[in-house]
Structure 1
Amino acid sequence: MVCALAPSCHLKSFIEGDQMLWIIQIVSVMAIIVLAPLIWGIAQKTKAHFQGRQGPSLIQPYQIFAKTWTKETFVPEGSSWIFRLNPTVNVATLIVIAASIPWAGQIPTNWPHNVLSIFFLLGLERFSVALAGLDTATTFGGLGASRIATIGSGIEPAMLAAFGVLWVVSRHTQIETVVPFFTNASPSGFLPWGLALLSYLFVVIAETGRLPVDNPDTHLELTMMHEATILEYSGRLLAQEQLAMALKFTIIIGLGWVWLGPIVPFPWVNVVLHMVEIMASAMLLAWMESRFVKLRYFHLPRYVTLGAGIGLLGSYLAMSGGLR
């Protein structure tokens, strides 16, 4: 009883709890890095299944990464340091984004986790990819960079519109502050949340380069976007690009689930459940891909505009009191 009332005991329990959150956050980031190729493999396997093919093994992304890492690296003649630095920037940026997401539903004290900073970092990764594609001075590299920049200009407003509902109800840009508002929302308040999640689904498909926006499996140069910017990469640089692609796919999906908040009051269980949700979502996206064909490039602005419009509608309903 005496210890329970002593300030030193409260401070000790706070430090111990904060240290545990640090450990959970670090382990969560490491799990994202390790499981990202597996989640990419699950999506590819599921997509092949619905298309009537056997598909690759679930561990094939790991095998490709290991094989590519051991190959010799060639750099195009005339390319600058931008081309060499881009893969490292991409992987580092995505790891920082993964570290900024509260996978356990809680975040350590003074840990940076602003949603707007996540959006800015995603823009930095997209800009780096486009810049590297232009740096090679090849036809397809410039074509892919141009298309990535064009689609990115529509993705960013759609992301802000999807996040608008969260900002309206919480008046804050930290993810975990939104959770009480979602759990305490009235039945009518789930409509704005549903619109925000639907808008974010448009963002996930476009940001990860999946059908109907882009096809990561294409071998037709004229239809490439992201793949066109990394055609000149080889060896360890290409391995880093492959890891960055899997990381981005995993993180973008996981961010949507984290917005919905922790499922149980146990941090470790939340981390595990979020990983399961990401795997299930990868399978769902693969099923959706098998049902759609790639949109023509000039139709893509309508796609991203629709996603942004749905998010703005959800924000309007939230501002009008729909979440109370």
Structure 2
Amino acid sequence: MDQASPQFELVAQSPGHPNGTDYDVVSYFPWTLEDYQSFSECRNMDWSNPNVVGMWHGVVKKWIGVAAVCGRNNRQSVIRFVRTSPRNPLQLLHQAEIVTGPTEAVGIRCICWSFDPKTFAPLVVLGGMSGNIIVYSPETRSIFSVLRGHGGRITSLNSHPRNPHIIASTSRDKTARLWCLDLPAEMKISSTDPEANRLGPMFGSPLTGGEKEGLGPGRCFAVTIGGHSDGHNATVLHASFHPEVNILATSGVDHCIKMWSFDLPPPPTAPEAVLVNLVRPIFSTKFLHHAMVSCIHWLSPSLLVSQSAQSQTAEQEPFPAKLVVWKWLAYQTYKNVVTSGYEYVKDSLNATDSRKK
């Protein structure tokens, strides 16, 4: 029997770095020429203006096919930008070494792309061992901003599908945080829960004692409260934005999957913003997986896929790693409430009362 022909062919391989860099994560520029049509919520963008659309097309043509490759060496974190194309499978555009934190916290373990909503200039958001989030500009080859607030290692980063300047981060501190990259660093931030201010990052506390929240643009505007009866009780491993409405799905070491509803932040011109503590999810389950849920993604407005690792304890047989595709049955009801507001709720209650009669 003839051996089956391979489905893939290795066409290029990155040369090694002289300082012994280990690469951990890679992410391609994610947008196409027509993706601007999904950015209708982006602030101050008149997509009916051909000049604005032309500016977007210019950015995409320059960066499409470019991958950001991140790793670490003995001294600091490293990021490479490479272009892949049929003619030149691996073209190194540039490389930068980035200080992400103390020497013992070197390493970039998660990455996502964003952009400056004023210019569409691409931004690469980096997170890792230090707990700091670094926003790097490949256009200027410099740090755009540094975001601080998490109390532990960053485990995932994702950008909002309709507002890519909004970022979700998850962490070992049992929280997920939502950041807006166009809020000025000097904007005053107040918390919705004064008690949380005394309890640390796990409970949505802003930094205290004169500590800076970061450098450059970008502020945190919402935190899912960890360690709470309704929040994650262990490391949050992954988060995913809903494709149509403002819902964030999270998964974690506690075997749980949760969904959180949130509001968009105020405009950059507002005098202040509120750091909202998201205390109660709109959905929560721990019955889909018997081990830590390492990632979750939306496949459609009501369909999700989640993955768990193998679980093994001394007292029981191991549970194998599992990939689950499942449906959120309450999505249409939630959407009706969001779009129709209290009128929908009132009609539903009236219908319930009439059935009781």
Indicate the structure whose relative CO is greater, using CA pairs within 8 Å and at least 6 residues apart.
1
TM-score interval for Structure 1 and Structure 2 normalised by the shorter chain? under 0.3
Q: Name the larger-Rg structure.
A: 2
More strand by share: 2
More helix by share: 1
TM-score normalised by length of structure 1 = 0.26
